[in-house]
Chains A and B, each alone.
Chain A
């Protein structure tokens, strides 16, 4: 799947998690802008993993700070 298609699917997955309907761009920071607690982060990661049938290890998660970086990572992880 190319980056654009991946981005579109991630946008769908993230909607129910974005409870405060914050406008999301590639630069949106998970810790800074979305302010999710650790449980939400875990559930969101699990949802992304299930959607794309991939693993995003904690080590990889630590490198993902922004929404754009998530799209990049998921695009790469699909191989």
Chain B
């Protein structure tokens, strides 16, 4: 076999591994053939502020970012990043456990401990890796992971990477979760994984009841609070804090890529043995640490989010106003009431979803087009996420854009 070149091989053994993508390639081509702009290759040519950018030469209002608290252009955050670039250089070129822990990495972990009021904080290079690492490391062979079927891809991938038995239950269904927990064999380790805000429909979880049931059945609990940090709960610690059960959560997973306004992920915990994770968690060990400028911007942003009461109130006002206006126009939304800063507008199908997305872009509005497999129940969604920096006037303009585009496409 060794010296056989591909051309020597019989034709039938030459399989193109890419043929498994043919159905998707065709679906994408069919969509583009209808003449719509490719919704998945937009370029922001210039970013003017947390809420506006230049796309295809025109000024566009951004309603499809996760920049909930508008921290990306905060002057203190930017100054901290520039200072760190000057003082520590562009990157660490190393793992957190070798040469990649700088003063800034410790400082951002201290900021997180303070923000959440927890004993331990561990910073990863992304939130994706935080889920991948923590889940695959703490739940091992013979253990059971019980998780919501609508969990984020990074949670599923963490499950797949580990050796535990994986048992999903119907979205936010307390009874379905309880039944599964009760059927787990005696003596097996149990980890329940939930999210505070589910990012596709913007709905929240009944964490209070779910965590009670999880604890009654002897499970440890991990909650991903990626989409709640900074504006849900009395101190912005998330949905678990809002429902008064944060002290029952064993592990909170979060990200810097949303409210914090940069990139990175973390896990905070009160578990007395938590620090051992730094040695055994492969997605933490076998990758380079975040650049000094990133951790400096994150630490500054997190500390500012502790005192962001006014911004928080304005973000909620924006969410309520837009939710009410879109409902009034006759759009079908993911939740009957605004539960988070995400408002999901349900499209009849991918084709009209893409047309609507394009019509909005022409109006000067960017939203997120989401479709299966990211979405539940095969839905096509236009996901709108509000920012504390959207003005009341912008929200009004956005409503007008939705009205015109929706009528033009025939959705309302």
- By a beta-carbon cutoff of 8 Å, the part of chain A in contact with chain B is 37-39, 42-43, 46, 49-50, 53-55, 57-60
Contact = CB atoms under 8 A, between A and B. Distances in A.
Interface string B367-407: 00000010001100000000000000000000000000000
B335 to A, nearest CB: 19
Contacts of A54: 183
A42 B167 contact: no
A55 B180 contact: yes
A55 B184 contact: yes
Contacts of B170: 42-43, 46
Given A39-B377, A39-B378, A58 B168 contact: yes
Tell me what chain A mostly uses at the interface: helix, strand, loop, or mixed. helix
9 contacts: A39-B377, A42-B149, A46-B169, A46-B176, A55-B167, A55-B183, A58-B165, A59-B165, A60-B165
Nearest to A79: B185
Contacts, number: 35
Interface string B157-191: 00100000111111000001001100110000000
A42 B168 contact: yes
Report the interface size class on chain B: 10 to 19
B266 interface: no
Interface of B: 144, 149, 159, 165-170, 176, 179-180, 183-184, 373, 377-378
A37 B169 CA distance: 16
A58 B377 contact: no
Nearest to B183: A55
A59 B378 CA distance: 23
A46 B179 CA distance: 10
7 closest A-B pairs by CB: A57-B165, A58-B166, A55-B183, A57-B167, A59-B165, A55-B167, A57-B166
